[in-house]
Chains A and B, each alone.
Chain A
């Protein structure tokens, strides 16, 4: 499992590529929009990406 730094650098690169893409396509208004959404997504991070944990039991509720 790569280190936290490596993973962060990787994701930073992805963000940069996303930015470059939106600039190339001239979707300027989407850039601040995406940034706001990503900030909201920090909440997602806190819940660890919201990956669904199957209960593996015979749940009723």
Chain B
């Protein structure tokens, strides 16, 4: 059986890739995709811990399902915002969307 640490290393790698995407990509859509990666890295952790440590309880799986739901809604809202901004300003570059400036 594959040891737990492998899963954790995979998840950490995925998280870092997602984080890099969020911080470094210019497109807002790509940032959203980075966020997806980070969320799924967390899900991987949750499922791995559940399987290895408390397989008799359902909490780990439930947690993962909730994260799916949250991620889906967050993506929906985020995409809607991006489309709306694109219609107004004809751009999806995150640095140009500095509406929260002073």
- Asked if chains A and B come from one complex, the reply is no
A residues whose Cβ falls under 8 Å from a Cβ of B: none
B residues whose Cβ falls under 8 Å from a Cβ of A: none
